[in-house]
Amino acid sequence: MKVSIIGATGYTGEELLRILAAHPAVEIAYITSESQNGENINRVYPHLSHLYDKKLVSMNKLEIIAEESDIVFLGLPHGHAMAAGKRLLAGGTKVIDLGADYRFRDIAVYQKWYKVEHTHVDAPSVYGLPELYRSKVKEAILIGNPGCYTTASILALAPLVKNELIELNSIVIDAKSGVSGAGRGLSLNSHFSETFENVKAYNIGGHRHTPEIEQALSEQAGNEVVVTFTPHLIPMARGILSTCYGTLKAGVDSTDVDQAFAKMYGDEYFIRLLGRGGYPATKNTRGSNFCDIGWHIDSRTGRVISVSAIDNLVKGAAGQAVQNLNIMFGLDERTGLSQAPLYP
């Protein structure tokens, strides 16, 4: 199939190219960049040399890109994907948006948290977390690809809320991300001297991934879920570690928790259950599309602690997007995603 990437020079676009280089059913049609229009991608990212010899073009001819592509990935900042999405869908191609513009069921929630008017309110978007929405992804023409913090946190908590094992008003999420999650743009907060030997929380009570997590968990629970979510920046390039806490309901025991995770994820290739007492680590998922999950029961406090680890650029972004592509076109989900994690 012919695939194009709008906004190919960000970390997510680059990661898509890295993964798709090994995908046997994909040919890259167009890659775009407004800031580096005309530059060869292997000059922008030398590690892609010998894998690609292709020039970046402008996205100003979206109709041509749509006509000559079976699917287009959008790697644009929030607020910019909607206009492109409309034109691409009108041109008959499928779309996977790696930003936030198509992730929300309630447009008002998007506008409140992102401070941007939503201009594609009738978009036929599907939330692209395959382990929870696979049947809808199969039929989709437009995917809102989940964020990295959200993927790790939702997958860690979904079995607990779906099976009514925890109090829905008790959920606390403490998550930590590598610096690549901030994108490739220059920012004081991501400078080496600011991040090296430093760990800090940010956007407490106001991170934009909060309503996305609440949306998915509420759908799983069948009731409104409100969470306390605190993100942290840690001095490494890749990875998300999400530690999630919930108060167990009366009468729930450790066997109930074990069975809930096994029932939901026992047949999921990209979710590796480490079991009760397991300790996921970001190093064990680096460069892969795996999500590792372990959980612990604290009988003293009556809480369950579920821990997940992913690579924020793979399962948290580009890898999940390719997983969605595979489902949409009837391919084995693992196609192009079978690489083992990088270790050490």
Residues noted as catalytic: 148
The two structure tokens encoding residue 146: 């989940």
- Cα gap 1→69, rounded to integer Å: 8
Residue 246, CA distances (Å) to 37, 159, 290, 302 in order: 48, 12, 24, 9
Dump strand ranges (E) for 235-301: 240-247, 271-276, 291-298
Strand pairing class (94-97; 142-144)? parallel
CA dihedral 159, 163, 167, 173 (to 10 degrees): 10
Identify which of 307, 301, 303 has the alpha carbon closest to the alpha carbon of residue 246: 303
Q: What angle do CA 92, 98, 102 make, to 5 degrees?
A: 70
At 187, phi and psi to the nearest 5? -155, 140
**Residue whose structure tokens are 């029932």:** 263
The DSSP 8-state label assigned to residue 173 in this structure reads E
Q: Which amino acid is at 67?
A: E
Q: Which amino acid is at 189?
A: N
- Cα gap 153→240, rounded to integer Å: 9
The DSSP 8-state label assigned to residue 324 in this structure reads H
Q: Which amino acid is at 47?
A: H
